[in-house]
Structures are given as C-alpha cells and as structure tokens.
Structure 1
Amino acid sequence: MMKVWRVVIVGCHPTSMLGTKLILEEGGELEVLGMYSSWNEGVYNIQEMQPDLVLMDYQMPEGNLQGILPEIKSNAQHAHCIVMTEEEDKDMFLPLIELGASGVLSKGASPRQLLLMIDGLREGFLSIPLDWIEKGFRPPTSSKGLSGVMQLTQTERFIMERIVQGITYDKIAQEIEVSRRSIDNYLRKIYVKLDVTTRAQAIEKFALHANQSKQMYA
C-alpha cells in the first residue's frame, strides 16, 4: 500500500485552500496537516510537521516566496514543494527549481492536473506543461546566473531597470515616491543580492541576465 503523504498548504485565500484540501484528501492518499495564510506561520509549521508535500502560493501579502523557499527546504529537506502561480509562467520554472521547488503549476490548472503532478513526484518524476514544449521551451543546463536577479523584489527590479536606462537616482526616488536616501538603501540590498560592489557591476549583471532570461524563454 502506498504511503499517505502529509501535506501543508500555504496560501492567501482560505476558501481556495479549503477547496484544495478537499480535492487532495478525496482519494485517501494525501492528508492535509494544516493550512496557513502567512509565511511566518507556514515556515514555522512546516519545520514542526516535516510534511512530505508543501503547496504554496508564489505571491503572499508579505511578498513572493523567493526568499522563503530556501529556508523551507533547509528546515524540511525531504518535503516536495509545488509553487502555485497566477498563470503558467515558464520564466519562473528553472530559477524556482534551483531554489528547491519540485514543480510550478498555474492556479488555473484543473484538479486532475494538480493530482497528476503530485502522482509524478510520488513516483520520482518532475512534470512540466506540454504546451511549454510546443511553444519552444528548452531549458538550459543551468540558470544559476539568473538567481541573483530572481531574488530582486519588484521595486528593486524597477530601480535597476531605470538605472540601466540612465535615469538619475533623484528621478527614480520621485517616481516611486521615496526619499533619495531610500534609493541608497535599496541599492545596498541590490548589490548584496547581485553579489557586486559597484554601480557598473550591478548594471552589467542586471542587463546581461535580464537579457538572457528573455532569450532563454522567448
């Protein structure tokens, strides 16, 4: 008899999580241990419960999961993590896999598609949508060069995009309605994530890998 997998769900919509719970438990092979609406609750309980599977929204009120996923995998190394996104975004696939995800699935996917992905993981297989292949998706051997850029928040990405375009720091501060000093704080965080020490290095790395990302997944 196949082992019953213990599942934790982390999402921002309680009604959706309840519906997912009912779908997962219908066949008797999956048991939902808990459903959590914040990263703090989710991370703590995943560490305590050590589930076999974690279903998580990519975007939560506190932000996206890029900074959280490595922590979850560190705390629950044997857990498979399926990331639920608003749409099937193949651009996220490899970076999220390298951060520890076992699959990426659109929230618009059918219950059957979700269960098939889980069944694949139970058998040791990772699945991707067939239409990605039909649209020309060809994963490279690695996307680690993109990991630093992927860690940037939406605001940090906007700042770097404007800097690459030659916009001044004062103008960027006005555009996002923050102080000039806040831009300096953002830049310090950006430099750490990109593993650079100068503006020129940050521009080079951001522009290079942002361009590579578009080419890879066009």
Structure 2
Amino acid sequence: YEMVVDYCETLLGVDESIGSVMEYLKKEGLDESTLIIYMGDNGFSWGEHGLIDKRHFYEESVKVPLLVRCPELFEGGKVPQQMVQNIDIGPTVLAEAGVKQPENMPGVSFIPILTGNTEMASRKEIFYEYYWEYDFPMTPTVFGMRTDQYKYMKYQGIWDRNELYDLQNDPEEMYNLIADPDKQEIAKSMSSAIYDWLEETNGMNIPLKRTVKYRFGDFKHQQEH
C-alpha cells in the first residue's frame, strides 16, 4: 500500500511539472506549434503473470507510455494501433526539425502515423532481447518477437517452455499456444526470424558483466594483500 501511495505521489509531481511547461508554452503562444512528446519507462508489473519488476516481454512491461501533441500537425484524440519503438523518437524529432537522419541511426519518424498518411509502411514486427542480470535474477535471458497478432518468447539458459500468444484474441496473454498443433508453423517462423535478426545485428553472443561482489574468503584475501 505504501509503495502505491508513493508511486501516485511521484506521478502527481510529474503531472505538475508538465503542467508548468504547458502553461509556459500557452503563455508565449507556442503551444499550437510545439511538438511535445511525453513518454515513460517501460511498465512496472504489479503482480500480472505472478511477476514484479519491468524486464519481461509481457505487454504490461514492454509497452511504454507515449503521448504526442502538436495541433498544428495533427488532430488530438487519436489512438493509433501501429507499433512504434523508442528508437523512433530521435528520427521523429530530426524530421520535424528539418535535419537529415544519420545513416547509422535506427528508427523512423512516426509523424505519418499521427497524420494518417497511409502511404508510409508501418512496422510489421518488433524484436526484444534481455540478458540475465546478477542484480535482477527473477528475469532470465529472453528473446522475443511481436507482430500485430502474435508474440513469441524464447528463453535461454533455463529449462522452461517458450511462449506464444495470440494478442488479438488473448490480449492479456493468458493462454500459451506454444504446443498448439495449429500454431507450430507460426512458432517456427517467429523463432527463425529472431535468430535471423540476432545474426544481422551481431547479437548471437551473450554478454557477461563483471560483478563487484566477493565471497567472504575472497574479500578477506584482498584485505590481507
């Protein structure tokens, strides 16, 4: 309970700060023509799927709050369904500032999605990778892929079932279809696509992180020397 109260009080502080910025823009006559992008960290789990924290690939965690406002460019009140990633923020800002996007910068501007430009192709899939961390042992190494309809999660280093969900018919991801005979081709193709993506992005090697924690004997030995 106390954590929920603290969380809500923190959000109130954020709301007040954003309100101050919006008030200034309106006062200076800049609110209609200023592109405002408001986003948060990935979602924190409060017991969904029996989990806490925010590192897994379920919808509650992988989705990031994203609100965009610029009345001069597009009307408000829309809730586009196309997939947008955080790597698209930079290209969006550069495009509206009239600056050419560097060739080595990933992502694309999502302004066409907001303006309803159907000529621009929308993203067909997103990929996800998370490597197990010493300080957060509750989440294993996991690779994932999400389309508009399906999500596939592939685990590495643990003896557990992979997961496949039909997001259109099961948005809360309650029914794992990985063993469904009718979904084997989908699971196979998505697993293959994940490996293809990892190979293309030099992601086939799992990184190791040097820890600073010592066993008692090791610490004592270092203290003596």
| TM-score normalized with structure 1 length | 0.34
| TM-score normalized with structure 2 length | 0.33
Higher RCO (C-alpha under 8 Å, 6+ residues apart): 1
Structure of larger gyration radius: 2
